[in-house]
Amino acid sequence: MANISDYSVVGRFAPSPTGALHTGSLVAAVGSYLMAKRGGGRWLLRLDDLDAPRQVPGMADDILRTLESFGLFWDGEIAFQSTHLNDYQHFFELLQQAGSVYPCCCSRKEIAMSASAPHPGDDGIPYPGKCRGGTTAGSLIRSWRVVVPEEDVCFSDMRKGRFCQKLSAVSGDFVVRRGDGEFAYQLAVVVDDYLAGVNQVVRGEDLLSSTPRQIYLQRLLGLPQPDYCHLPLVTGPDGLKLSKRDHLISSQLGNVAGRERLLLFAVLRFLGQNPPAELAECSCGAILEWGATHFSPLHLPARGGALEI
């Protein structure tokens, strides 16, 4: 694990190189940056590049150049999930040794058709546990799943307050590794944050429902639990979360050149930080410096909405 003894806070931003950043991504980047920097901490950058088929050529570099154009400079070297496969294997084996995971031969179609499966929620249909008792000899292993508890997994979010989730009702025994050997996001992100010494995770509210699964894995593996803060989401005119094609900001497209400081100022307002009007005329560096000095999670709004520029 990274040596973080010299830093009180280690935060991170972890985009996927599957498309250009959008204004919602910028809110997450700025929010995580300011939350780390307000305490004199470090802000790390990781590219979540496990899903190779969905990656867009050149997009990793575009993300880096876009962040730099806003004055969002990361500390240390950039991390790549694709370089951590041996680490994922190690922690997966620890789960195996503890008897916390089991092979599953169920397809998505079989899970959807299961008469015992509850109604689907935001995370799909909870796995009904068909393979918990073992699989038939010679069956195709489609995934490896973690056995989840019946009791709630709770944590305190810096914006949302106490949040509890019953994993058995929301996700059921969730996947940590696919049958083809690929590691799932939930395990990868837990290992990534541990290896980097991340102790503060600031990200969009759309990932709130994933957090109890990650906390449960941290507990199974004996890893420290970071502090969490889930930021309000930027929405489109229809009130829905932005897709990867909405409100793009890209150095490659050149669609933000000259507007960076206005966007940063708008993000501070969106996050409830009430910057002075004259700050909009300052450089990106000055805007971020003001934000790092004045940022308070207590001022984060209860709801998201459109990003007004």
If residue 187 lies in a helix (H) or strand (E), which one and from where to where? helix 185-196
Q: Which of 130, 166, 241, 244 does the annotation list as catalytic?
A: 244
Burial class (CB in 10 A: 0-12, 13-18, 19+), 130: middle
Query: How is 135-178 classified by DSSP, letter by letter?
Result: --TTPPP-EEEEPPPSS-EEEEETTTEEEEE-HHHHTBS-EEEE
- CB-count burial class (<10 Å; 0-12, 13-18, 19+) for 269: middle
CB 92 within 8 A of CB 101: yes
Residue whose pair of structure tokens reads 């429902």 in the numeric block: 209
In Å, how far are 120, 274, 281, 296, 304 from 299, measured between CA atoms?
34, 9, 23, 6, 13
DSSP assignment, residue 8?
S
Helix (H, G, I), strand (E, B) or coil at 278: helix
Quick check: is 244 catalytic? yes
Q: Is 104 helix (H, G, I), strand (E, B) or coil?
A: strand
């990534």: which residue's tokens?
A: 192
Catalytic residues: 244
